[in-house]
């Protein structure tokens, strides 16, 4: 039989975020814990003719604070967000990428859609002014892997460089795949997460045509209401979330702060429908069980679930999946959806939610689900309504499910904020 080396352990040593609740992890975390909403009327363009006129936009983001002026024009906004979140994560980790270690540091940051606003912009330029006026930077502005590419260039990271493009599961897939790379010994450090910025006319029109978006235009802060009886669709958002993942001994040798140990990952497929999950949530059940199995812990060790819950009909399916997996433990298991405050960040959702879930574990503070005023009878778990809850826990689960029937789940274990594991 072939003998494989033991799996290397992977810890989280840095966090970065750009979200509708603030630029930076601290602003986002404090707003989440306070139950604040980042949703409001769309300001990027005139949305008056659309059935949905609200979104979770990033506010007060200045790319010049992170990127040289001559480089900004080479990046659509989703790449700018990725660079900013990565810079914060690297700074938070106290990580130095030197020439002699660069080949052991990689980047794995994806997006669900990529540079759609730039595609809109330059299609109009092409039509109005001709092909000679299309920017030579157009293609590198819009393709998804340039988020990872630009981050790698910035830091001189010469290790594995790739991305997942798996709709709303993108962030979790990127983090999980990066975790596997370190486990296998192909890198010692990975910058991993998700990014997105597609609040633009074409995306809004497309999601609205699919009847996926909330139409609660007159009350935007209450529009995203996961698990609520009166939910009517998700609210599109934008941002980026990036984690520094590091092999345990590598992190310990340099005295890094440990937020937690990424201990479990799984991905499965529903193989059912292009947008909808099966009613029994079988793919999600399989994914959650495999992620917990990968972590090597009992199901009862999970003390909190950051649900994918988007404020759509699928919230009941995820609820059923959690009940199927955890059985009696489900009734005692706190679950919340931070999309109630952040909106649905599409390809960035998993990255930002991994940041928030890691902080929930690290600080022992579980974020609330806001706007849960009239619970759906089929959504009958403890969703931490309204206010954050202080509870010391040992392990957390973060779910991400996406169009195409893709499922990706992460399990993070506590290191108690210590350098000893």
Which one from 52, 174, 344, 379 is the annotated catalytic residue? 344
Q: Which secondary structure element, helix H or strand E, spans residue 194, and what is its range?
A: strand 189-196
Section 33-46 average pLDDT: 98
Report the first-to-last Cα separation within the chain, whole angstroms: 32
pLDDT of residue 6: 76
Residue 188 pLDDT: 98
Which of 213, 231, 253 is at the close of a domain? 253
For the cut 80, the answer to whether the pLDDT of residue 19 exceeds it is yes
Predicted confidence (pLDDT) at residue 420 exceeds the cutoff of 60: no
> Is residue 377 one of the residues assigned to a domain?
yes
Q: What sign does the dihedral 129-132-136-142 (CA atoms) show?
A: positive
Catalytic residue of the set 173, 200, 308, 379? 308
344 in catalytic set: yes
* pLDDT for residue 4: 53
What residues pair up with 249 in beta bridges, in sequence order?
A: none
363 among known catalytic residues: no
Q: What is the pLDDT of residues 204-262, one digit of tens each?
A: 999 999 999 999 999 999 999 999 999 999 999 999 999 999 999 999 999 999 999 99
Over residues 104-127, the mean pLDDT reads: 97
Mean pLDDT of 114-137: 97
Active site residue 329: no
Q: Which of 168, 174, 287, 379 is catalytic?
A: 168
Residue 2 has pLDDT above 50, yes or no: no
Residues 288 and 246 in one domain: no
**Whole-angstrom Cα distance, residue 297 to residue 313?**
31
The CA–CA distances, whole Å, from 184 to 113, 168, 172, 395 equal 29, 26, 18, 23
Q: Which secondary-structure segment (H or E) carries 142? A: helix 138-142
The model scores a pTM over 0.85: yes
Q: Stretch 311-317: mean pLDDT, rounded?
A: 97
pLDDT reported for residue 3: 52
**Does any domain span residue 3?**
no
**C-alpha–C-alpha distance, residues 99 and 114, integer Å:** 30
The answer to whether residue 198 is domain-embedded is yes
Domain boundary among 219, 253, 287: 253
CATH number for the domain harbouring residue 17: 3.40.47.10
pLDDT per residue as tens digits for the range 158-197: 999 999 999 999 999 999 999 999 999 999 999 999 999 9
Mean of per-residue pLDDT scores for the chain: 96
Structural domain boundaries enclosing 289: 265-413
pLDDT 10s digits, 385-402: 999 999 999 999 999 999
């Amino acid at each position: 039989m072939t003998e494989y080396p033991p799996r290397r352990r992977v810890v989280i040593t840095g966090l970065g975020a750009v979200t509708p609740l603030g630029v930076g992890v601290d602003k986002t975390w404090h707003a989440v814990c306070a139950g604040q909403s980042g949703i409001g009327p769309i300001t990027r363009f005139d949305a008056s003719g659309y059935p949905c006129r609200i979104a979770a936009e990033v506010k007060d983001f200045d790319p010049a604070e992170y990127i040289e002026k001559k480089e900004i024009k080479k990046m659509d906004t989703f790449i700018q967000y990725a660079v900013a979140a990565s810079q914060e994560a690297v700074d938070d980790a106290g990580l130095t990428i030197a020439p002699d270690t660069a080949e052991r540091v990689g980047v794995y940051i994806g997006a669900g859609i990529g540079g759609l606003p730039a595609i809109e912009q330059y299609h109009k330029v092409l039509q109005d002014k001709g092909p000679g006026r299309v920017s030579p930077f157009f293609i590198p502005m819009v393709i998804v892997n340039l988020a990872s590419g630009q981050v790698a260039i910035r830091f001189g990271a010469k290790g594995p460089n790739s991305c997942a493009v798996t709709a709303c599961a993108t962030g979790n897939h990127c983090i999980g795949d990066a975790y596997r790379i370190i486990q296998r010994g192909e890198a010692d450090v990975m910058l991993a997460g998700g990014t997105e910025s597609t609040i633009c006319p074409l995306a809004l029109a497309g999601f609205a045509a699919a009847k996926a978006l909330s139409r609660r235009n007159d009350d935007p802060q209450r529009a995203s209401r996961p698990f609520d009886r009166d939910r009517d669709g998700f609210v599109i958002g934008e941002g980026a979330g990036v984690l520094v993942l590091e092999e345990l001994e590598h992190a310990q040798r340099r005295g890094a702060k440990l937020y937690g140990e990424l201990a479990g990952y799984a991905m499965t497929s529903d193989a059912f429908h292009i947008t909808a999950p099966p009613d029994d949530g079988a793919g999600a059940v399989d994914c959650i069980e495999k992620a917990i199995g990968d972590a090597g812990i009992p199901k009862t060790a999970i003390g909190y679930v950051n649900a994918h819950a988007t404020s759509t009909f699928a919230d009941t399916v995820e609820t059923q999946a959690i009940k199927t997996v955890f059985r009696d433990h489900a009734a005692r298991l706190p679950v919340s959806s931070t999309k109630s405050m952040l909106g649905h960040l599409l390809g960035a959702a998993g990255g930002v939610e991994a940041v928030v879930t890691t902080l929930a574990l690290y600080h022992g503070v579980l974020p609330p689900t806001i706007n849960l005023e009239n619970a759906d009878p089929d959504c009958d778990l403890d969703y931490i309504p309204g206010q954050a809850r202080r509870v010391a826990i040992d392990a957390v689960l973060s779910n991400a499910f996406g169009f195409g029937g893709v499922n990706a789940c992460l399990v993070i274990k506590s290191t108690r904020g210590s350098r000893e594991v």
